[in-house]
Amino acid sequence: MAPAYPPSRQKRLRQVARALARHGLGWLVLDLGLGRLVPFHRGVLRHAAQEDPYTKPEHLRLALEDLGVTAVKLGQVLSTRPDLVPADLAAELARLQDRVPPVPFEAVRAVVEAELGQPLEALFAAFDPEPLAAASIGQVHAATLPDGTAVVVKVRRPGVEAQAEADLALLDALARTAAARTSWGQDYDIVGWVREFAFTLRDELDYAAEARHAEQVRRDFADEPALHVPAVFPERSARRVLTMERLDGVKVDDAAALAAAGVDRQELARTATRVMLRMVLRNGFYHADPHPGNVLVLPGGRIGLLDFGMVGALDAATRQALLRIVLALAAEDTDRLVDELTALGVTGEAVARGPLKQDLERLRRRYATRPLKEIAAAEAFQDIMDVARRHRLRLPAELVQLAKVTAMAEGTALQLDPDFEILAFSLPYVRRFWLRTLSPRAQARRLSGSLADLADLGEALPRQLRRLTHRLEQGALPLTVAADPSPETLQRIDRAANRVAVSVLTAAFVVGGSLLALAYHPTGGHPALVAVAVLAVLFVLGLVAALWRRGRL
């Protein structure tokens, strides 16, 4: 049964329903049970006309932009999930823009002083009232510390967290409605996906989390001179304020500025790819939004990373599985690829292995005859997502996010060097990281973890067995059986039961005949026993023939 929407959210629900209906998404309004909130007969549903008709993806993008910060972030995250949405819709959602005016300077001052507990003038020697950039969650200002250090200060917009929390609660109710009323809501686990999105958005709203992300990457790459992560100033940072070192460099996609600075673009492409591979496959913690605006080229050809609001994390087991998947792709081993995908937990219960293998085999053949330099990671990623949608695979968010990040990093590398063969460059690093997982130290680390798990299990198992035995004795252990009442299934069960019955009858006649023979010790006569044996054989054969003719055996 679909959840009821609370009266306190009726106004926002009406805004959602009207925005969707205004942009031609009336089917979604009806699916979500919001039809009563939409005055279809009034002119409020008209939108600005244009010479060329809007496409369906454009309609959805415009509706999300009308609905504000949470909806825009929802669309931006959906654009990174082509396993859930078609390629044309993902591309359109990637164009979502935060259309918000800057927050007035006095409101910015109030947030900074409330969070840091001091007057703005005591915290900064200079603070530019005009923002460098403004977005739906916050805006960035240039400032100078009392010791002369140049910094940037990120300030969250007042009221944005309360609005986001209200929208997330409403979005959860809408997702549960979709799961209860529609097949697509169930097939794509919309409720689970919305909860993942809520976690991501709350992380973006918390600048203290972004500070921790930046510091972790900074520690991970302390020995890497090619990468510079801006320092965080924790005494001037909090949940709504983040103060970081200001980096002066050239944007990675500014070809003219790179040429003027004498940057070796080919070497830069290789360095950027190597850094990303190390983040993902060795450290398991990586920047998840490496678009050109977040990547600077610093003096000396070093790379500077900005904006750690979106990061990805992979545990050791997932990293090992990904390494095996890449090696299976390189070896053109489709069976192993299906095995690894299954082990990674990306196949749903209803996924048929045979058709999945056939589709992956077609992909393998398509790419097998092409040189590595002609294979784009973004294209291969999209092909795999198409297969995922076709088989309704529930891909882990981390896996999809990583694939999208890989495609973005590849795009940046190819902008720097159009002849860069990213797959050929990456495979030696993949093999090297794989060998690291086989080293004695890594094996010992995994073994110690397994032994700790085993010790915990040994400690907990007696208590769990005692509780299980007690519930069995009390008759309090429920047993749930899921049955498929389809005619095909019932027919298979009927045939199996008939075969068992025939086998039991045959065994009974054989055992009975043996007992009679032992009792009477027939040596030359007893025609009655022979007649009984013949009749028994004829009976069994007749029964088998009758069941066979009816297709029940």
On the question of pLDDT at 528 being above 70, the answer is: no
Range of the domain at 403: 252-438
The residues, ordered by sequence, that sit 6+ positions from 128 with a Cβ below 8 Å of its Cβ are: 141, 142, 143
Strands 227-228 and 303-305: parallel
Q: Would the pLDDT of 397 be above 70?
A: yes
Is 90 exceeded by the pLDDT of residue 271?
A: yes
Q: Around Cβ 89, how many Cβ atoms within 10 Å?
A: 20
In sequence order, which residues have a C-beta less than 8 Å from that of residue 29 and are 6 or more positions away? 17, 20, 21, 35, 37, 38
- Considering the domain architecture, whether residues 56 and 203 belong to the same structural domain is answered as no
Average pLDDT over residues 84-98: 79
Picking from 49, 64, 97, the residue at the C-terminal end of a domain is 97
Between strands 133-134 and 250-251, the pairing is unpaired
What is the pLDDT, as a whole number, of residue 323?
Answer: 80
456 is catalytic: no
What is the pLDDT of the chain when averaged over all its residues?
80
| 35 located within any domain | yes
In-domain check, residue 430: yes
Among the listed residues 479, 496, 483, the one whose alpha carbon sits nearest the alpha carbon of residue 547: 496
Name the domain boundary from 68, 97, 126.
Answer: 97
Q: Which of 97, 127, 150 is the last residue of a domain?
A: 97
| pLDDT for the residue 369 | 73
Question: Dihedral angle at the C-alpha atoms of 369, 371, 373, 375, nearest 10 degrees?
Answer: 10
Instruction: Give the Cα separation of 287 and 313 in Å (integer).
Output: 9
Active-site residue, selected from the candidate residues 167, 220, 289, 359: 289
Shared domain for 422 and 312, answered yes or no, is: yes
What are 155-201's pLDDT values in tens digits? 999 999 999 999 999 999 898 988 888 887 777 778 888 888 898 89
Phi, psi of 299 (to 5 degrees): -55, 140
Question: What percent of the chain has a predicted confidence (pLDDT) above 70?
Answer: 73
Task: In whole angstroms, give the CA distance from residue 396 to residue 401.
Answer: 9
Is there a single domain that holds both residue 229 and residue 115?
A: yes
* pLDDT score for 86: 79
pLDDT of residue 51: 47
- Which pLDDT value is given to residue 43? 45
Q: Are 493 and 449 part of one and the same domain? A: no
Q: Answer yes or no: are the C-beta atoms of 81 and 400 closer than 8 Å.
A: yes
**Statement to judge: residues 424 and 454 lie in one domain:** no
What SS3 string covers 406-430? Answer: HHHHHHHHHHHCCCCCHHHHHHHHH
Please check whether residues 233 and 261 belong to one and the same domain.
no
Asked whether 341 and 347 are in contact (CB, 8 A), the reply is yes
User: For 325-377, what is each residue's pLDDT tens digit?
Assistant: 777 877 778 888 877 776 666 555 556 778 888 888 888 888 777 776 677 76
Q: How many domains does the chain have?
A: 5
Q: Is the pLDDT of residue 303 over 90?
A: yes
Residue 89's pLDDT band, with cuts at 50, 70 and 90, is: confident
Q: Are residues 500 and 385 in the same domain?
A: no
Which two tokens mark 403?
Answer: 């694939």
Same domain flag for 80 and 118: no
Q: H or E element: which one contains 479?
A: none
Distance CA 243, CA 146 (A): 13
What is the rounded distance in angstroms from the CA atom of residue 284 to the CA atom of residue 291?
19
pLDDT at 275 over 70: yes
Contact between residue 51 and residue 74 where contact means Cβ atoms under 8 Å apart: no
pLDDT for the residue 324: 83
Is 296 in the same domain as 409?
yes
521 pLDDT above the threshold of 90: no
481 lies in some domain? no
Question: Residue 5: is its pLDDT beyond 90?
Answer: no
Which amino acid would we find at residue 526? H
Q: How confident is the model at residue 424 (pLDDT cuts 50, 70, 90)?
A: confident
Same-domain status, 451 and 491:
no
In this prediction, residues 442-462 reach a mean pLDDT of: 64
Distances (CA, A) of 84 to 88, 187, 349, 388, 416: 12, 10, 18, 9, 31
Which amino acid is residue 486, in one-letter code? S
Phi/psi of residue 118, nearest 5 degrees: -140, 160
Q: Helix, strand, or coil here: 441?
A: helix
3-state class (DSSP) for residue 93: helix
Report if residue 482 sits inside a domain: no
Q: Is there a domain that residue 391 lies in?
A: yes
204-213, 231-240, 263-272, 515-524: the lowest-pLDDT one? 515-524
Q: Are 50 and 72 members of one domain?
A: yes
Give the helix/strand (H/E) hosting 482: none
- Average of per-residue pLDDT across 312-331: 81
Mean pLDDT check: name the lowest of 183-192, 279-288, 410-419: 183-192
Q: pLDDT band for position 298 (50/70/90)? A: very high
- What confidence score (pLDDT) does residue 44 get? 46
Cα–Cα dist 281/318, whole Å = 10
Cα 93 from Cα 78, distance rounded (Å):
7
Q: Both 24 and 48 in a single domain?
A: yes
Assess if residue 258 is contained within a domain.
yes
Question: Is 423 a domain residue?
Answer: yes
DSSP per position, 494-516:
HHHHHHHHHHHHHHHHHHHHHHH
Distances (CA, A) of 505 to 76, 492, 511, 533: 67, 20, 10, 13
The model carries a pTM of 0.70
Residue 459 located in a structural domain? yes
Q: How confident is the model at residue 463 (pLDDT cuts 50, 70, 90)?
A: confident
